[in-house]
């Protein structure tokens, strides 16, 4: 037996036959339960013979974990980890998600013992440095958004939306505006916008955007009516079609005249950061996704963080606790200190590790660097939009912000769909773009290259997309329906997988 064969626990030792798709040094990774051998002990040791039960009563039964050794467990999880596709392994153009490089300086700073090894219940005098980081971050966010009230607690974008809409609800409550029950939301909104408003007890009134991809003043006026029942409006800007809402200033003035608050979903702030301050175009509340704009890891890479920034008028109502500075001392707001607040969002004060990373990102870029970030994000997206405009149908007139948007229209004529193109990208070793979102665009392909990709990576993506478009034109439909061919798992039946998921292992 060779060493390689000895290492390969997917091989039948007697016949020397590989039992699955394991080839060379590439392992087809079975479940731990499929690796266990009943004749070998793992976590459940055999009971020692002749030793009386010392507790006197209950003996512990088998706990039912698979019987494998520690090296087997370690190898299993290390091999699984190498199967992850991530921003650290390749181009990841998932629209609306901002999958960009996380600079390692952020990680280094987050691991400084004085930040990494502290506990939220430590006395404030022992964590002054950590509170200073949070206070500085509040300051940077206020400066960048032009919105002076900042609450760092929300643990994700959607959580920030909850915080922001709760803030609006609390303001209306304390002002006695019980008749204001309606939240205006364009049909292009990220799904979390209407979901959040509904969760906070508002009725949703939808503003159609279909023709232009933007909210027009006319459509807004129609939805507003006399404005008496309107509590506010939630708009994503740049919106989910990758477009800047050009009429926003005029719309906000009308909304304010009607006594409504303007919520801006700022998840996509990476297209604006350093260029404009949303407070200047009338935004009252905005959440930011630190894990998108300010490069803290997300997806499988770590928790999110979705602070909110609000205008002076809403400052009394934001959730507690804020980080306050008195003289040279930092402290957290105490419970009950600000009675107008809308409540607490979680036990402590947010994802502190993400606060360190985001501040580290801001400090290492500086004001000019952050401006360059948004310029490069927009340039990269428009480069893709312009390069692919003859091969793929663009539903709206550009220029785009940080995302390119196409549809399947040209390919559908040949029987090739958005899903086929996404699977084709996997075949060529690339993570697909966001597909079928925004919902207002049929067969949408939303591509966000981000500013951290260089021209080589983007050109390769463009080449692959052009090749897929040419294959579709040439009628290679069968090939498309079978993509991906070279991935370990081929085309899945996604409907069955979603409708009847197998969530439990059972012995075959
Ligand atoms: C990502 C995103 C959200 C939600 O953020 P999470 O951190 O995933 O909760 C909300 N709105 C828009 C426009 C987004 O792109």
> 204, 196 in Cβ contact below 8 A?
no
Residue 350: closest CA among 298, 296, 295, 303: 303
C-alpha–C-alpha distance, residues 129 and 6, integer Å? 52
Q: What letter does residue 452 receive in the DSSP assignment?
A: T
pLDDT at 3 over 60: no
CB of 237 shorter than 6 A to ligand 1: no
> 341, 151 in Cβ contact below 8 A?
no
pLDDT at 272 over 50: yes
Ligand 1 centroid vs 349 CA: distance in angstroms? 20
Report the residue among 195, 289, 290 best suited for mutation to probe ligand 1: largest number of ligand atoms under 8 A from its CB. 289
Ligand 1 centroid vs 360 CA: distance in angstroms? 22
The 10s digit of each residue's pLDDT in 434-445 is 999 998 899 999
Work out which ligand 1 atom sits closest to the CA atom of 161.
10
Adjacent-strand bridge partners of 393: 407
Average pLDDT rounded to a whole number, residues 29-45: 77
Work out which ligand 1 atom sits closest to the CA atom of 291.
7
CA angle 132, 138, 140 (to 5 degrees): 100
Report the residue among 99, 100, 156, 157 best suited for mutation to probe ligand 1: largest number of ligand atoms under 8 A from its CB. 157
Take atom 3 of ligand 1 and give the residue whose Cα is closest: 157
Ligand 1 centroid vs 51 CA: distance in angstroms? 58
Work out which ligand 1 atom sits closest to the CA atom of 160.
9
Query: How many domains does the chain divide into?
Result: 1
Residue 68 lies in a domain: no
The 10s digit of each residue's pLDDT in 94-114 is 999 999 999 999 999 999 999
Lowest mean pLDDT among 32-46, 174-188, 406-420, 421-435: 32-46
CB of 265 shorter than 6 A to ligand 1: yes
Residue 393 lies in a domain: no
Q: Which residue has the higher pLDDT, 91 or 11?
A: 91
CB of 236 shorter than 6 A to ligand 1: yes
Work out which ligand 1 atom sits closest to the CA atom of 192.
10
Residue 184: closest CA among 238, 224, 219, 236: 224
CB of 424 shorter than 6 A to ligand 1: no
pLDDT confidence bin for 7, thresholds 50/70/90: very low
Q: Give the pLDDT of residue 5.
A: 35
Residue 368: closest CA among 453, 276, 274: 274
CA angle 307, 312, 316 (to 5 degrees): 75
Residue 317 lies in a domain: yes
Residue 416 lies in a domain: no
CB of 304 shorter than 6 A to ligand 1: yes
Q: Which two tokens stand for residue 419?
A: 């899903």
Adjacent-strand bridge partners of 331: 324
Work out which ligand 1 atom sits closest to the CA atom of 96.
15
Q: Give the pLDDT of residue 1.
A: 32
Q: Give the pLDDT of residue 15.
A: 77
Interaxial angle between packed helices 128-145 and 352-387, expressed in degrees from 0 to 180 and rounded to the nearest 10? 30
The 10s digit of each residue's pLDDT in 189-216 is 899 999 999 999 999 999 998 778 899 9
CATH number, position 111: 3.40.640.10
Average pLDDT rounded to a whole number, residues 475-498: 91
Q: Give the pLDDT of residue 217.
A: 94
Report the residue among 153, 242, 265, 295 best suited for mutation to probe ligand 1: largest number of ligand atoms under 8 A from its CB. 265
Q: Which two tokens stand for residue 69?
A: 């050794």
Interaxial angle between packed helices 217-224 and 248-257, expressed in degrees from 0 to 180 and rounded to the nearest 10? 20
Ligand 1 centroid vs 158 CA: distance in angstroms? 6
C-alpha–C-alpha distance, residues 388 and 394, integer Å? 9
- Other C-beta atoms closer than 10 Å to the C-beta of 376 total 17
Residue 380: closest CA among 430, 455, 445, 444: 455
DSSP E strand stretches across 2-63: 11-12, 17-18
Q: Give the pLDDT of residue 6.
A: 38
Residue 402 lies in a domain: no
- Tell how far CA 409 is from the center of its chain: 28
Q: Which residues of 321-351 are buried (b: 16+ CB within 10 A; e: fewer)?
A: bbbeeeeeebbbbeeeebeebbeebeeebbb
Residue 383 lies in a domain: no
CB of 242 shorter than 6 A to ligand 1: no
pLDDT at 48 over 90: no
C-alpha–C-alpha distance, residues 346 and 357, integer Å? 20
Looking up tokens 């948004």, which residue turns up? 374
Q: Give the pLDDT of residue 10.
A: 66
Residue 96 lies in a domain: no
Q: Give the pLDDT of residue 82.
A: 87
CA distances from 187 to 190, 241, 282, 316 (A): 9, 11, 21, 31
C-alpha–C-alpha distance, residues 505 and 193, integer Å? 36
CB of 96 shorter than 6 A to ligand 1: yes
Residue 60 lies in a domain: no
Q: Give the pLDDT of residue 9.
A: 64
CB of 370 shorter than 6 A to ligand 1: no
Residue 384: closest CA among 371, 369, 401: 401
Work out which ligand 1 atom sits closest to the CA atom of 298.
7
Q: Give the pLDDT of residue 2.
A: 35
Report the residue among 95, 192, 303 best suited for mutation to probe ligand 1: largest number of ligand atoms under 8 A from its CB. 192
CB of 164 shorter than 6 A to ligand 1: no
Structural domain span for residue 237: 105-364
The 10s digit of each residue's pLDDT in 50-96 is 877 777 767 667 777 788 888 889 999 999 988 888 899 999 999 99
C-alpha–C-alpha distance, residues 72 and 77, integer Å? 9
CB of 8 shorter than 6 A to ligand 1: no
Average pLDDT rounded to a whole number, residues 373-378: 97
C-alpha–C-alpha distance, residues 128 and 329, integer Å? 7
DSSP-derived 3-state class of residue 232: strand
C-alpha–C-alpha distance, residues 217 and 224, integer Å? 10
Taking only Cα atoms into account, the Rg of the chain, rounded to an integer number of angstroms, comes to: 27
Q: In what order do the strands lie in the sheet with 445-447?
A: 404-406, 445-447, 434-435
CB of 98 shorter than 6 A to ligand 1: no
Q: Which residue has the higher pLDDT, 280 or 55?
A: 280
Report the residue among 190, 263, 350 best suited for mutation to probe ligand 1: largest number of ligand atoms under 8 A from its CB. 190
Cβ-based neighbours of 196, under 8 Å, separated by 6 or more: 158, 161, 162, 165, 234
The 10s digit of each residue's pLDDT in 382-432 is 999 999 999 999 999 889 999 999 999 999 999 999 999 999 999 999 999
Mean pLDDT of the chain: 91
Residue 241: closest CA among 385, 376, 400: 400
């Amino acid at each position: 037996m060779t060493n390689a064969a000895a290492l390969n626990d997917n091989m039948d030792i007697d016949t020397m036959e590989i039992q699955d798709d394991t080839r060379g040094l590439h392992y087809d990774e079975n479940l731990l339960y499929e690796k266990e051998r009943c004749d070998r002990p793992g976590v459940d040791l055999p009971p020692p013979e002749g030793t009386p039960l010392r507790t006197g009563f209950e003996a512990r039964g088998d706990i039912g974990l698979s019987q494998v050794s520690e090296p087997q467990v370690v190898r299993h999880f290390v091999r699984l980890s190498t199967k992850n596709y991530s921003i650290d392994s390749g181009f990841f153009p998932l629209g609306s998600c901002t999958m960009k490089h996380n600079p390692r300086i952020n990680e280094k700073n987050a691991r400084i013992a004085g930040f990494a090894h502290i506990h939220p219940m430590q006395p404030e005098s022992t964590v002054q440095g950590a509170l200073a980081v949070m206070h500085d971050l509040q300051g940077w966010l206020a400066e960048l958004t032009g919105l002076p009230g900042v609450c760092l607690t929300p643990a994700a974008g959607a959580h920030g939306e909850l915080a922001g809409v709760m803030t609006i609800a609390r303001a209306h409550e304390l002002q006695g505006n019980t008749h204001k029950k309606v939240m205006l939301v364009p049909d292009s909104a990220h799904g979390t916008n209407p979901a959040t408003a509904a969760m906070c007890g508002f009725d949703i009134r939808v503003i159609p955007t279909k023709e232009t991809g933007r909210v027009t003043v006319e459509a807004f006026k129609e939805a507003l009516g006399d404005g008496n029942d309107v509590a506010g409006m939630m708009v994503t800007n740049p919106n989910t079609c990758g477009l800047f809402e050009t009429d926003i200033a005029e719309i906000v003035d009308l909304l304010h005249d009607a006594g409504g608050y303007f919520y801006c979903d700022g998840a996509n702030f990476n297209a604006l950061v350093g260029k404009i301050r949303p407070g200047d175009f009338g935004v009252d509340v905005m959440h930011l996704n630190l894990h998108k704009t300010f490069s803290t890891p997300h997806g499988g890479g770590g928790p999110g963080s979705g602070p909110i920034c609000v205008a002076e008028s809403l400052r009394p109502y934001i959730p507690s606790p804020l980080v306050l500075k008195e003289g040279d001392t930092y402290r957290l707001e105490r419970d009950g200190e600000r009675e107008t607040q809308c409540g607490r969002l979680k036990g402590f004060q947010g994802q502190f590790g993400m606060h360190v990373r985001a501040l580290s990102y801001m400090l290492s870029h500086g004001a000019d660097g952050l401006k360059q970030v948004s310029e490069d994000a927009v340039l990269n997206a428009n480069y893709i939009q312009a390069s692919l405009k003859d091969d793929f149908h663009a539903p709206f007139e550009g220029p785009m912000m940080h995302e390119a948007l196409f549809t399947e229209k040209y390919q559908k004529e040949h029987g090739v769909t958005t899903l086929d193109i996404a699977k084709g990208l996997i075949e060529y070793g690339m993570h697909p773009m966001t597909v079928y979102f925004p919902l207002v665009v049929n067969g949408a392909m939303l591509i966000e290259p981000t500013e951290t990709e260089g021209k080589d990576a983007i050109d390769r993506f463009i080449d692959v997309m052009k090749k897929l478009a040419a294959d579709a034109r040439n009628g290679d439909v069968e090939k498309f329906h079978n993509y991906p061919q070279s991935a370990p798992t081929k085309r899945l039946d996604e409907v069955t997988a979603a409708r009847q998921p197998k969530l439990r292992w059972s012995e075959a």
